[in-house]
Amino acid sequence: MAVAVIALLALAVAGRGMSDIPLESHEIYVAQTAENMLESGDWLVPRLNGEYRLTKPPLSYWLVAGAATLAGQDHVGAGIARAPSVFAVIGVALLALWIGTRLFDPRIGLLAGLLCVASLAAFKYGHNARPDMLYAFWTTAVLAAWVGTRQAGAALQARWAWALWLLVGLATLTKGPQAPLILLLGLGLHAVLSGERAVDLWRRLRPVRGLLIVLALVVPWYLLLRQAIGGQTLGDSQLSGALLTIDPLRLFTPFYLLRAPMLWLPWALLLPAAALIAWRDRRGAAGLLAFTIVFAMLAFALGPQYREIYMLPWLAPAMLLLAAAITRVAWARVCVGLVIAVVGVALVWLVYEAGLSALLVAAAGLLLVGGAGWALRRRRTPAAAALVAGAFAVGLFQGGAMPTLWSSARYDELIFVKVLSRHVEPEMPIVVWDIDAAHYSYYLDRPVKGAEALDAVCDWISRQNAAVLLIYPRERRRELAGWLAFEPLLADNNSEFSATRLPPGTACRAPQNAGA
């Protein structure tokens, strides 16, 4: 029953609106790369808009392309592109249920699964085609395998270890080895500090054979890719670690300490209680979870890029720790009371924003909030937390159908492209200036040249033998007029984007202040 409830809630939270919300740029990178694989039949070399896409390993592209194949579609729409992320949310929540049951008890496991589902992270990144939620699933599964190696008998311990390294390999094929290795380093360091002998840890994890499993999964694709595109091209790409630099001076940068809890909302209100139980149980399960979370924050702080999404693989550990705090810290009921108040206000805002269409859903959510308040007054804190988690999940379900919760730029650009498509001639060359070309290549279904500098745009236009479509930011029209004589193609367009059709032989003129 618990598995079914968590899975259905996760599907409701992450699946509502998955086909209707317009894709943002990073999602289009995944969708179009997968679509290019289907069109070309080349599943080895990722390509985007006619160029190599060498920023991420291929597993997420393969899964999206495979989903499109199973659905019998040549075009990768938003729903298909996001399907792996939706199922990954379900997987993360169910793994939290399993891990919590093993590390603590079934009640904490159930509560942790509900908290994972009813979190901002599940809603925000479950609706996103980027590979990060899938990456979080593999990394959470690595944690589950770690728990399995600790609790299994000698006969099964080896199998858990092989599963662990298999999962590390799948994570590496999704986004790289960083998250699972940081997780394992944190787990291993805590185990040694808690009294486990390093030699016993080594025997339990079998890292030498495990490394061979990872290499067997990852290296063949890498070598074949190198052969296909050349060692120089691959060596200069992000796939070869071009962005992997470490600066010890950034160790205590507070970015992740401040931003990671945003992924855990509304449950971040329970962090004081979580800190207390982690301290009390610093050698036990709660201390293990807290240590790995803080260790990951410090490890990522050393890197060159700061992204909240890097902490997404620690969603389940965080929710497990918070669920343990709810159950085992008496005054955590105060924090749960704050969560109930916040969720109640959010549901009221939902009705205000969405109107009568959200009334039924909001009423169900408010009924659960009322039940949570009743349980809290009777000092049934875990039950109160479970009920308010259900209420927040119901609210997130409605949120998936509300455009106001997503960037308006997504909708504006999609509307603009649809109107513009009526004016695009077959085989017409298209160039975009100072705008991401991915949207136009994806929605117009053709290669689109992207350029940030106007002189590069002019150089490209001068080499075309046909009429050219130029797309540019409307606010920079005056600057463009200093280089080109043109008329806007959509004169009545109210979008932040604009376009013009340039006849063959169009030449730019150097602006008077070009040398200034």
DSSP per position, 132-154:
HHHHHHHHHHHHHHHHHHHHS-H
419 plus 349 within the same structural domain: no
DSSP conformation letters of 326-366: HHH-TTHHHHHHHHHHHHHHHHHHHHHHHGGGGHHHHHHHH
| Helix/strand/coil percentages in the chain, nearest 5 | 70, 5, 25
Q: What is the pLDDT of residue 515?
A: 42
- Residue 388 in domain: yes
Please check whether residue 202 is in contact with residue 149, taking contact to mean a CB–CB distance below 8 angstroms: no
Question: What one-letter code names the amino acid at 424?
Answer: V
369 plus 495 within the same structural domain: no
386 plus 416 within the same structural domain: no
Mean pLDDT for the chain?
91
Please check whether residue 276 is in contact with residue 328, taking contact to mean a CB–CB distance below 8 angstroms: no
Q: What is the pLDDT of residue 28?
A: 94
Q: What is the pLDDT of residue 512?
A: 54
122 plus 171 within the same structural domain: yes
> Which range, 203-212, 456-465, 486-495, has the best average confidence (pLDDT)?
203-212
- Residue 65 in domain: yes
Question: What one-letter code names the amino acid at 334?
Answer: V
296: its two tokens: 């990951």
Section 77-104 average pLDDT: 97
- Residue 246 in domain: no
Q: What is the pLDDT of residue 513?
A: 52
70 plus 116 within the same structural domain: yes
206 plus 77 within the same structural domain: yes
Of the residues 225, 240, 255, which one is the last residue of a structural domain? Answer: 240
What gap in Å lies between CA 34 and CA 30, rounded to an integer? Answer: 6
- Residue 107 in domain: yes
Of the residues 405, 428, 463, which one is the last residue of a structural domain? Answer: 405
Domains: count for the chain: 3
Q: What is the pLDDT of residue 429?
A: 92
Q: What is the pLDDT of residue 243?
A: 59
Q: What is the pTM of this model?
A: 0.94
Judge whether residue 458 has pLDDT over 80. Answer: yes
Q: What is the pLDDT of residue 511?
A: 67
373 plus 422 within the same structural domain: no
Q: What is the pLDDT of residue 455?
A: 87
Of the residues 192, 224, 240, which one is the last residue of a structural domain? Answer: 240
In which band, very low, low, confident or very high, does the pLDDT at 491 lie, cut at 50, 70 and 90?
A: low
99 plus 11 within the same structural domain: yes
Q: Three-state SS for 305?
A: coil
- Residue 254 in domain: no
491 plus 382 within the same structural domain: no
Judge whether residue 377 has pLDDT over 90. Answer: yes
- Residue 144 in domain: yes
473 plus 383 within the same structural domain: no
Q: What is the pLDDT of residue 514?
A: 45
Q: What is the pLDDT of residue 130?
A: 96
70: its two tokens: 């199973």
Q: What is the pLDDT of residue 403?
A: 85
Please check whether residue 214 is in contact with residue 169, taking contact to mean a CB–CB distance below 8 angstroms: yes
- Residue 471 in domain: yes
In which band, very low, low, confident or very high, does the pLDDT at 516 lie, cut at 50, 70 and 90?
A: very low
Q: What is the pLDDT of residue 492?
A: 59
**Range of the structural domain that residue 401 is part of:** 332-405
